[in-house]
Each structure stands twice: as C-alpha cells, then as structure tokens.
C-alpha cells in the first residue's frame, strides 16, 4: 500500500529544491496535490480565469499564488501551503521524511496516519434512562436554550440521516446534501458503522416522543464522514469544511491509534476553525493514560473531554491529565442506533464529548456574541465538583449552571 506524507512549506517555499537527488535521478514519479483547494472567486481575481491561456499547471499555480493567496487572511494562507505527497514505490518513506524535515523551506512533515474512534465496548445490560442529561440538569437548562440556530458538525463515521430521532435536525446545504464524505470523496455522509449516529443523537436527537433526546434538541447536525479511511488529511479537510460552511461547534470523537503527542496538519485546521470563532471539542481518549500523549485531544485550543460514569466517578477507560478541559457522562450512554428505528448503549470518551458539544450549542444559542475563551470559562466554572484520584478537569459539566 502506498504511503502518503503531508508536508507544509514555509511562506515563499516551493518544491523545486526539496526532493533528494536519489529520487529525481531515478525518475521515480512523485504525486503532489494541494490538501485544500484555492478559493478562486471573482472577488479575489483581477482577471477572468476562464479567459486566460496557461502553458501548463505550474503557470496556472503561479498565477493563483500571486492573484489569490496574497489577498487571503493569514489563517487561510497557512492552510494553502499544505500538500499531500504519495511516496514513490521503492522509496524509503522514513528517510524521505527526514530529508524533507531538514530542508529550511519546510515547516513540517508527517505521515498521513490513521486514527481511531474513541468508543469503548459495553457489556452491561441496556439502560432505559438518559442519566447523563439528568446529571447535567438539561431539563432546567432547556427553559433558557435548546440550541436554536446552531450547527454542530460531527466528524465521524457518518450519520444515519434517516433515523426518525435525528432526521428532522439534519443540516442541509443548498443542494440538499447533509454534509460530505471525505473518506470516499462524495456528497453522501451516510453512516456505515453506527458510531457517528450515536454521537449525533446525544448532541441533537429531536424532542419528538419517539425515543431519546439530545442535549441541544433544536440544533442542527452537519454530517462529515472521515471513516473508514480516517487519514489525518481527511480530518483536516473535514474540520475546514465545517468552519467554512457555518458550523459553530465541531465534535471529534476520535484520536490517534497510539501515542502521538503532536499532529500538525490537524492542529492547523483547528487553528483555522478557532480563528473563525468556532468551538472544537475532542474526546480525551480511552487508554486510561495522560492525555498529553494524544493529539489533537491535548491541543490547548480544543475542549478536551474525559468520561464519567453513573456514579460521577472517572470511567475506568478514560484518559485524564492537566490538559483535560472538563468531564462529562461517557459510560453506558443511550442514543440512536444506525439503520434502524432503535437505540443502543455505548461507552467511551466518544460518548462524553457530544454531551459537551451539545452544551456548547446551548450556550452559543443563548449568548450569540460569546467568544470561545468565554465559553470555555463558562464550562469550567459551572461544573459539579466530583472526586477523582487523577485530574479530569475541574468537574463534570452542568448545563443548567452554565446557561444560567
């Protein structure tokens, strides 16, 4: 299987001098593509692109560099210096990575690695009550806010947009699409696994007397499918899509397959989203370890969520540490089951994160002018204090206190 590298060039850098002679001398094909399309609009062009004649793709690229990129905000320019490289067959990916990292025009290089869902197998019998919403005092919070006018992007396995408890709360674009499928590069983000549907139900299942109800039951769900391919580049593009298409909260119930303290290409996308005032939520992870080892959940600009159980104790699987922002219910959580009219129990920090994403939607709906810094302060200062032998944030979130 071909290995891909993600490379970010420094401002003004180009590819002419960064590849080792061993590759170019052997004429090994190097496939390079920009991770994000340059936004070519009339407002950014001094000429009509369709009326121009280009000798080759390089000339067109140079024109776009000069005409478009120079007019963008710095946070946007940064993302358009990121490229994906397919390592030629026969080349040593590790050595190529080291060579590229040593080049002064390269900002970073990383393997386009896989990521995992942050759920945890459940063996207990099905619970019939949504204890998490009760502990968070959601019914009291709903007197003030139910998430109106807030779009929450769910970057996951897709969402079953036909489930009767979520279909009325699906976001749609002008063409009627419910989001995007970055794993297969098409416009159908239908769930293939059930994880994303479960997450979406916790955030915004409808108040329709059919089954469960979400924390923000009048919010809208944007379905962004990144699994099963689950490469870093897919998550980067999904987060950017959410930021560019009206999401106010982005839920990420996934993380690295093992220890990975840094993930620059995803962190770049997070920077971009946060620069637009968007709240980015991550599951802390399920290794019962310090979250400092797991990016992007350890990234200071995200809301990192650990999991608690029915007794307000740290769930045994949950990651912890000083980089955790808050805790939320994450063990034995009842929510929507994909490809059915039914419901299922799941556990994991995957299930804790959507409780916080839903709460963020409640806060943003009631206080539309609030900054992300102020929102995080509200979350952290309005928790229920719980005991834990390891740090899991200041406490377990309380929706009523945070919205009051």
Q: Which of 119, 156, 191, 268 is catalytic?
A: 156
Q: Which of 270, 301, 266, 333 is nearest to 118 (CA)?
A: 333
For the beta carbon of residue 78, count every other beta carbon within 10 angstroms. Answer: 17
Q: What is the phi-psi region of residue 205: left when phi exceeds 0, alpha when psi lies from -120 to 50, beta otherwise?
A: beta
48: helix, coil or strand? coil
What does the alpha-carbon distance between residue 26 and residue 364 come to, in Å, rounded to a whole number?
56
Q: Is 236 a catalytic residue?
A: no
Query: CA 265, 267, 273 angle in degrees (round to 5)?
Result: 110
Active site residue 404: no
Distance between start and end Cα atoms, the chain: 53
Distance (Å, rounded) from C-alpha 344 to C-alpha 334? 6
Q: Are 162 and 221 in contact (CB under 8 A)?
A: no
* Cα atoms in the 13 Å half-sphere on the side-chain side of 276: 22
| Count of helix runs (H) and strand runs (E) in the chain | 12, 17
Between the CA of residue 79 and those of 232, 249, 260, 280, 346, what are the distances in Å? 14, 20, 21, 17, 35
Is 188 catalytic? The answer is no
Triad 81, 82, 86: Cα angle to 5°: 135
- Which one is catalytic: 163, 195, 236, 293? 195
From 253, 306, 350, 357, the catalytic residue: 350
Angle among Cα 208, 213, 218 to the nearest 5 degrees reads 75
Nearest to 324 by CA among 374, 282, 262, 274: 282
What gap in Å lies between CA 241 and CA 376, rounded to an integer? Answer: 23
Angle at 40 between CA 34 and CA 45, to 5 degrees: 130
- Residues with active-site annotation: 156, 195, 350
């Amino acid at each position: 299987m071909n290995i891909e590298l993600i490379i970010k060039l420094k401002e003004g850098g180009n590819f002419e001098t960064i590849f080792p002679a061993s590759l170019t001398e052997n004429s090994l094909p190097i496939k390079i593509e920009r991770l994000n399309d340059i936004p070519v609009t009339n407002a950014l062009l001094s000429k009509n692109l369709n009326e121009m004649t280009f000798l080759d793709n390089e000339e067109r690229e140079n024109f776009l560099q000069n005409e478009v990129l120079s007019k963008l905000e710095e946070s946007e320019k940064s993302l358009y210096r990121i490229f994906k490289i397919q390592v030629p067959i026969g080349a040593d990916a590790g050595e190529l990575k080291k060579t590229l990292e040593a080049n002064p025009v390269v900002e970073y290089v990383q393997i386009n690695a896989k990521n995992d869902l942050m759920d945890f197998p459940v063996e207990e019998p099905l619970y019939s009550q949504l204890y998490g919403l009760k502990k968070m005092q959601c019914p009291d919070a709903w007197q003030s806010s139910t998430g109106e006018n807030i779009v929450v992007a769910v970057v996951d396995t897709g969402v079953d947009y036909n489930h009767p408890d979520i279909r009325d709360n699906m976001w749609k674009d002008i063409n009627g699409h419910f989001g995007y499928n970055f794993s297969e590069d098409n416009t159908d983000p239908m769930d293939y696994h059930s994880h994303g549907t479960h997450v979406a139900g916790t955030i915004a299942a409808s108040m329709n007397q059919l089954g469960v109800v979400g924390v923000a039951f009048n919010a809208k769900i944007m379905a962004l499918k990144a699994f099963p391919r689950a490469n870093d580049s897919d998550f980067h593009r999904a987060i950017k899509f959410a930021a560019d298409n009206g999401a106010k909260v982005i839920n990420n119930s996934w993380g690295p397959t093992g220890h990975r303290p840094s993930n620059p290409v995803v962190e770049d996308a997070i920077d971009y989203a946060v620069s637009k005032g968007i709240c980015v939520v991550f599951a802390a992870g399920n290794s019962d370890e310090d979250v400092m080892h797991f990016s992007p959940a350890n990234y200071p600009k995200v809301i990192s969520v650990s999991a608690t159980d029915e007794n307000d104790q740290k769930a045994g699987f949950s990651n912890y540490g000083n980089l955790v922002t808050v805790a939320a219910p994450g063990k034995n959580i009842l929510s929507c089951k994909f490809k059915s009219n039914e419901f299922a129990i799941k556990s994991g920090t995957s299930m804790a994160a959507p409780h916080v994403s839903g709460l963020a939607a409640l806060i943003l709906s009631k206080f539309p002018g609030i900054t992300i810094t102020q929102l995080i302060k509200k979350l952290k200062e309005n928790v229920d204090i719980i005991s834990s032998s390891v740090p899991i944030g200041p406490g377990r979130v309380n929706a009523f206190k945070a919205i009051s």
